[in-house]
Structure 1
Amino acid sequence: MRPLHLLLLISICAVWGFNFVASKLAVGHFPPIFFTGLRFLGLGLLLLPWLKLHKGQMSLVLQIALFMGTLHFALMFNAIKMAHDVSVIAVIVQLGGPVSALLAWLMLGETVRWRRGLGIALAFIGSVVMSFDPAILSYAMALLICLLAMVSMSYGQVLVRRIQHVDPLAMQAWIGVASAPGLLLLSYFFEQGQWQATQAAGWGEWSLLAYSIIGVSLFGHGGVYYLLRLYPVALVNPGVTMAPVMGILFSVIILDERLSERALIGAAITLLGVLIVTLRDSQIVDKKPELSVEERAALAAATAKAKAGSD
């Protein structure tokens, strides 16, 4: 990879990694579902030029928006709000790759050979090791909700593999437009203090919202799509696994979080398993000549998104 493109990949991972901290700060002010609804409302408005009907595929597009947008982020941001250590959430989020592999095996009949199986097993073993840390057990419900969020994201990713000729920006536009109303409606029924939080928000809180829309969604996912047009998936996707490591570093530096030795060992085992699955999945995508460059990039971008976190 050329130095400039490597710098772009590192920058994307830094943006995604810092997003865990930004999200924690944001849900400290805004109700979590309400904040997510605002984020997708902004994303949908920015991507309106790419919003168009796809004949025969709209049912699938809307299902993807439901699982990768509304359900995933409603659960994810509540998990971030409930967790004491956002660095732990940054690791649990990485289970999206192994969960996707399991769902693809169950729903699409994809083969899970010993390398992928080893990676999946290590990812979950590491999460169990980390979860039994006494400090982390105190907010075990947040980890469970985060895992459910990743199951929702992973199911949406499996659906993405069935879709044809819908580029990532168009998919992002539909996720934004379709998710925002549902999230805001959920917030109306299950949260309170939305208007007060909006009135009290200063430039810092609105900057966090802008960061999640422009930095994470447009720069992050747009940058990965750009790189996937230039380089093999097997080169780009493993690099994305730097994001959770940066998320842990940012949480330690900015939020002054401290993980125990048990938590760090569990995190290392989980990330090793995720890396094995990522390498194997990337090789599988690169070996599919029947897919166009755009289709392969769209599939890989969805894979990277599921592994990068609350994008």
Structure 2
Amino acid sequence: MPPRDRLLAAVVALTWGLNFTAIHLSLEHFPPFFLASLRFAVLAVPALLLVPRPDVPWRWILGYGLGFGILQFAFLYLAMDAGMPTGLASLVLQSSAPFTVVLGAVWLRERLSARQGLGIALAVLGLAGIAVHRAELGGSATLLPVLLTLCGGLGWAFGNICNRQARSGSPLGLLMWMSVIPPLPMLALALVVDGPAAIGTSLTTLGSRTGLLALAGLAYTVLVATVLGTGLWTALMSRHPSSTVAPFSMLVPVVGVAASWLLLGEPTPVVELALGTLVVGGVLLGSSRPRRRAALAGAATTAGPAGAPSPDEGTGDAPAAVGAVRTAADAAVR
């Protein structure tokens, strides 16, 4: 993965890490399933009215929306509403990275190099160390919220694989149309589980302090975490093998734990900061290539035919689609 794309992946991790604090503020006011429905409904309406459907099979749009939109956030919001601490939620949800690597190897037959395996192992070791330390401190989540968050991570991994298979030339269009899938199923869950009374109360008290903070959190979730963060993530997943991109999600808990400490007052001991550094190192190791191999790959790309995809872009991607993804990613950064 070239340095520019690694930087973009780090930007995604930053926006997603801060998003857990935004979700916390929103869940202080909105019922969990209704909040998930609102999150995607805000994007679904302009998608249906203004955005052309990307030229990808419906099964990948449905799979992306089911995994990333419905399963991930239904389980995550329910876990946080059930008492999952904000920082710990950002940590446990990153189980999506090893889940994605396993699904990519089984489903897509993607090869995992020894360097990638070592990097992922170091990152998982760092995440496991933070989780164990949290448990020793006491006040950790009960087993049920942890299991719910793990289910959310598995849903995210499934969405990653469908995103990868879609290979859309319009990452932002794919993101917007993915957002069409979750609102109605999540609203149905909200009516059954949250109840009409709780939904009505959350809407009629939006002028309160908690209501205004919830709206601010929802705005960040939709505009920054989803449009910017997920838009860039979609572009990166389309351009590179999922086993290369997915480990960057392990940087999210480093940001999430730090943000929960600074903004919400959740304590973050020095040992967790050290373990977070191990996570960062593992991700960087797993996403980089040895200098000799990178130089040979660059020479091969330069000597190859015009428009040929580089080795970083995986196998089976059409050059035109790769070029379109790059253009969309550049536009998103601007």
Same fold (TM over 0.5): yes
Match of 1:273 among 282, 305, 322: 282
2: CA distance between counterparts of 1:236 and 1:164? Answer: 14
Q: What are the superposed Cα offsets for residues 154-203 of structure 1, whole Å, 9 maximum, x if unpaired?
A: 11211222224452222222221111101111111112311111111233
* Superposed counterparts of 1:203-282, under 5 Å: 203-222=212-231, 243-260=252-269, 263-279=272-288
Paired position in structure 2 for 1:292? 319
Structure 2 spans left out of the alignment, 5+ residues? 295-309, 330-334
Q: What amino acid is the match of 2:206?
A: A
Partner of 2:65: 65
Identity, in percent, stands at 25
- Measured in 2, the distance between the counterparts of 1:128 and 1:100 equals 17
User: Which residue of the partner structure matches residue 302 of structure 2?
Assistant: none
Matched, 1:199 2:204: yes
Task: Compute the displacement of 1:248 (Å).
Answer: 2.3
Shift in CA distance, 164/226, structure 1 to aligned 2, threshold 3 Å: closer
Aligned partners of 1:130 and 1:265 also within 8 Å: no
Computed over aligned residues only, the root mean square deviation of the Cα atoms, in angstroms, reads 4.0
- Residue in 1 that maps onto 2:100: 100
Output the CA distance in 1 between the equivalents of 2:157 and 2:214: 30
Q: What CA deviation, in whole Å up to 9, does each residue of 1:233-277 have, x standing for no partner?
A: 9x9998876654332222111100113455445544444434434
Moved more, 123-132 or 65-74: 123-132
SS at match of 1:257: coil
Query: Deviation of residue 278 (structure 1)?
Result: 3.8
After TM superposition, give the deviation of residue 58 of structure 1 in Å.
0.9
**Could you report, residue by residue, the CA deviation over 1:83-128 in whole angstroms, capped at 9, with x for unpaired residues?**
4531222223333222211111111222223222223333333333
Letter in 1 for 2:216: S
2:192 pairs with 186, 189, 192, which one?
Answer: 189
Name the SS for the 1:111 alignment partner: coil
Contact residue 43 and residue 213 of structure 1 kept, 8 A: yes
Instruction: Kindly indicate whether residue 116 of structure 2 is the aligned counterpart of residue 116 of structure 1.
Output: yes
Q: Alpha-carbon deviation of 1:284? A: 6.1
Whether 2:161 is the aligned partner of 1:152: answer no
TM-aligned CA deviation for residue 9 of structure 1: 8.0
2-side partners of 1:7 and 1:269: how far apart? 18
Range 167-176 or range 123-132, more displaced: 123-132
Report the number of matched residues. Answer: 295
> CA–CA distance in 2 between the matches of 1:298 and 1:108?
20
- Unaligned stretches of 5+ residues in structure 1: 303-311
Q: Is the 8 A contact 2:101 2:246 kept in 1?
A: no
Q: Is the 8 A contact 1:37 1:181 kept in 2?
A: yes
State which structure, 1 or 2, has the greater radius of gyration over its C-alpha atoms. Answer: 2
State whether residues 238 and 279 of structure 1, in contact with CA within 8 Å, keep that contact through their aligned partners in structure 2.
Answer: no
